[in-house]
Amino acid sequence: MNAVLQYAVQGLAAGSFYALAALGLAIIFGVLGVVNFAHGAFYMLGAVTAAVLLDTLALPLWWSLLVVPVLMFGFGVVVERLLVQWLLRLDPLYNFLLTFGLTLVLVELVKQRYGVSGLPYKLPGALSGRVDLAGVVLPRYQLFVFLFSVAICVLVWVVMTRTRVGMIVRASTEKPELARALGINVGRWVTPVFGFGVALAGLAGVLAAPFRAITADMGNNFAIILFAVVVIGGLGSIVGAVVAGFLVGLVEAFGQAYAPTFAQILIFVLMALIILVRPAGLFGRKEATA
Amino acid sequence: MRSKRIGAGASAMTAVLLLGACGGGGPGGSDGDFTEGKLVLAVLNDQSGIYKDASGPNSVKAVRMAVADYQKKYGDRAVVDEIEVTSTDHQNKPDIANSKASELYERGGADVILDVPTSSAALAVANQAKKHKRVFLDVSAATTELTGGQCNKYTFQWAYNTYMLANGTGTTVTENGGKNWQIIYPDYEFGQNMTRSFTEAIKKAGGTVQGTIPTPFPNDNFATFLTKAGSTNPDVIGTMQAGGDLINVVKQFNESGLKEKGIDLAVGLMLITDIHSLGVDQFAGTMFTDAWYWNMDAESRAWADRFRDETGTRPTFEHAGNYSAALQYLEAVQEAGTDDADAVVGKLEGKKINDVFLRNGEIRAKDHLVVHDAYLARVKKPSEVKEDWDYEEIVTTIPAAKAFPPAEASNCSL
């Protein structure tokens, strides 16, 4: 029982990274229709930026959780204005290729500047160590990661469903023509939404910094699993991305525990099953497949 | 022989003649015993990927240092005036390594290929060396196959192999009380090979391996693998992961609380660049086997200072190994008076060497494994670190005869 609980928390912690990043990916896809292949690279940039800020300015994790997403938002805005926007009217494949190319460029730039063996990152004392919850010993940082990302996901959900901005974004996602007819300037929201999605990937990167190797390649494998997450949750579905993120984390953890050789394959088996049974994903709308 | 000036003049003439003859004419006057009148040392390694920092461009610089030292030592008496060092990227892919090696030997005029990390890539290059009858000095690949089942006359393994790593760490940690082991390993050739070597060494030293857990490669989430490994309460968890995967393992091990339960982490393959990138505090106390350490004595340190002047950083054992391999190759060429591979191999075989990298070294004639002293090292505590890259304390020296498998055990026939 003890072990099972431990595996579950580890799965939820791993799932937190997937959920946050997939949330950004889903929002970008929803509003821009862009399959952002550079999401893994943005996640990597978040972690690298946090490590550099710690090294040069001694900026601790707490501040990085605030500062890095802001920087990444700015970076996302620049990328959207300079590159992505020009291809929005064309076949989605063009932006897919663009973001894929962008990934290669960003990864190589980080390699050139910071080498390949990775950057150090030290966890703040308050978050290191273990907590004892009724006999189950859990790493404090894993719990923090889980709770923090749940809070962010809830926050995003509230903004999306309870505020004017959120309603405009959702209207732009679901019925852009109608939204325009009602006098909403849909185009105005494209840039900030892209920036916001990038910021979420960066935030996942900051959370990963104390726990994962910070290297230029850290986003590569991550991005592949991320796409599985988004497909499982349903392309463009915000709730789906989050639920699927945690689900994939759990599948990974229990796979590692009970069938180590198949741990990673299980995620893709799950994806294949979902595609067979519900092609639009767990929370996807039927139109999403059209 | 002849004077340097005449030699240089003649070799310039030769070059002109060769140009005129579209490369068709054989070398005339000077350096007549050298193809195209020059010696070409080709470094083939990872210039941009995961092993770039461990070896990469700085190994090319180390080889250049060896050339400079050779020229300084022999001056006018050098048997060859023109020595070229080239650099090629194999991206750790066996197919690319294979075609690049073929190209280097055939059209690049390479007399020797050096370095070649990644076991599968190294085996491909060994095959090309055999085919073209040219020398291959491998420094950075670990598989025992290079000088075992797939050995050949022209291939040498200069720095280390999986036996050395397993024997050093597995044996010593077990003898020091770490009787019960769990091993996690990346599920591919290197990881499986390492796990076999470790299991053998642990059993021989009187320990038990409670379990082995394969993990995907590459992978960034090891939390549950570690929890599972710790569930049988072993004394030691051995990790065979390398590079970025190793850093993931160590970060997550330190978070897991297994250390407080009295479980130690033993690392199969660690390079000083791994310690540097993760930070010494995360690794403090970890034991591992090293082929060489830059600060292990005055001689190494003096060379490491020169290396730092050239590169701005401290050398890994792979950098020092490349320097040593290039230097000893040049010495053998000097002795042979030609770049003819068979003659040079003849001079290398059985040679006993002491240089900045090899201590009590011997190039074994039977299988071309270069045996030498290895070291059991411990990562220092942050409070013990006195300068940049001052990360290791050498606990014991493992004498050459014990560090590597005995020649009788080798299944190599040249």
- The model's confidence at residue B344, banded by pLDDT at 50, 70 and 90, is very high
Q: Tell me: the pLDDT tens digits for B140-169?
A: 999 899 999 999 999 999 999 999 999 999
Pick from A111, A116, A229 the residue to mutate for testing the B interface (most B CBs within 10 Å): A116
pLDDT at A191: 93
Contacts of B274 in chain A (CB under 8 A): 117
Give the 3-state secondary structure of residue B117. coil
Tokens for B223? 């939390």
Question: What residues does A133 pair with on adjacent strands?
Answer: A136
Question: Torsion-angle region of residue B64: left (phi > 0), alpha (psi -120 to 50) or beta?
Answer: alpha
pLDDT at B31: 55
- Please give the residue that has the higher pLDDT: either A125 or B307: B307
Pick from B89, B220, B271, B389 the residue to mutate for testing the A interface (most A CBs within 10 Å): B220
Contact state of B223 with A212 under an 8 Å Cβ cutoff: no
pLDDT at A122: 86
Nearest-neighbour CA in chain A from B184: distance (Å): 10
Residue B224 CA to residue B218 CA, distance in Å, equals 16
- The model's confidence at residue B385, banded by pLDDT at 50, 70 and 90, is very high
Contact A41, A102 (CB under 8 A): yes
Nearest-neighbour CA in chain B from A163: distance (Å): 37
Residue B80 CA to residue B330 CA, distance in Å, equals 10
Contact state of B50 with A116 under an 8 Å Cβ cutoff: yes
Q: Which residues of B touch A (CB under 8 A)?
A: 48-54, 187, 213-216, 218-221, 223-225, 227-228, 231, 243-245, 247-248, 251-252, 255-257, 260, 273-274, 276-279, 281-282
Mean pLDDT of B376-396: 94
The chain-wide mean pLDDT, for chain B, equals: 90
Nearest-neighbour CA in chain B from A233: distance (Å): 21
Q: Extract the residue ranges of chain A whose pLDDT is less than 50.
A: 288-290
Nearest-neighbour CA in chain A from B8: distance (Å): 39
Contacts of B50 in chain A (CB under 8 A): 116, 215, 217
- The model's confidence at residue B20, banded by pLDDT at 50, 70 and 90, is very low
Q: Determine whether domain B4-23+30-160+296-372 maps to CATH 3.40.50.2300.
A: yes
> Domains in chain A, ordered, with CATH?
2-289 (1.10.3470)
pLDDT at A132: 82
Residue B94 CA to residue B91 CA, distance in Å, equals 9
Same fold for the pair B4-23+30-160+296-372 and B163-290+375-409: yes
Residue A64 CA to residue A62 CA, distance in Å, equals 5
pLDDT at B3: 46
Nearest-neighbour CA in chain B from A16: distance (Å): 12
Residue B286 CA to residue B283 CA, distance in Å, equals 6
Residue B408 CA to residue B396 CA, distance in Å, equals 25
Contact state of B255 with A142 under an 8 Å Cβ cutoff: yes
Residue B66's nearest CA partner among B242, B328, B260 is B328
Q: What's the fold here for domain B163-290+375-409?
A: Rossmann fold (3.40.50)
Q: Which residues of A touch B (CB under 8 A)?
A: 3, 6-7, 10-11, 13-14, 108, 111, 115-123, 128-130, 137, 139, 141-142, 210-213, 215, 217-218, 221-222, 252-254, 256-257, 260-261, 263-264
Terminal CA-to-CA distance of chain A, rounded, Å?
44
Residue B184's nearest CA partner among B174, B193, B195, B169 is B195
Instruction: Report which residue type is found at A275.
Output: I
Contact state of A257 with B228 under an 8 Å Cβ cutoff: yes
Q: For the ranges A96-100, B24-28, B97-101, which has the lowest average pLDDT?
A: B24-28
pLDDT at A286: 58
Of the candidates B50, B214, B277, the beta carbon closest to that of A119 is on B277
Torsion of CA B295, B300, B306, B309, to 10 degrees: -20
Of the candidates A128, A211, A217, the beta carbon closest to that of B252 is on A211
Q: Indicate whether B7 pLDDT > 50.
A: no
Contact state of A111 with B48 under an 8 Å Cβ cutoff: yes
pLDDT at A76: 97
Mean pLDDT of B282-305: 94
Contacts of B225 in chain A (CB under 8 A): 256, 260
Range B328-360 burial, b when 16+ CB lie within 10 A, else e: bbbbbbbebebbbbeebbebbbebebebbbbbe
Residue A110 CA to residue B152 CA, distance in Å, equals 40
Mean pLDDT of B42-64: 93
Q: Tell me: the pLDDT tens digits for A177-233?
A: 888 888 888 778 889 999 999 999 999 999 999 999 999 999 998 999 999 999 999
Q: What residue spans define the domains of chain B?
A: 4-23+30-160+296-372, 163-290+375-409
Nearest-neighbour CA in chain A from B344: distance (Å): 36
Mean pLDDT of B399-411: 92
Terminal CA-to-CA distance of chain B, rounded, Å?
34
- Please give the residue that has the higher pLDDT: either A184 or B183: B183
Can you spell out the DSSP letters for B51-86? Answer: TTTTSHHHHHHHHHHHHHHHHHHHGGG-S-SEEEEE
Residue B63 CA to residue B58 CA, distance in Å, equals 9
Contacts of B251 in chain A (CB under 8 A): 210-213
Contact B33, B24 (CB under 8 A): no
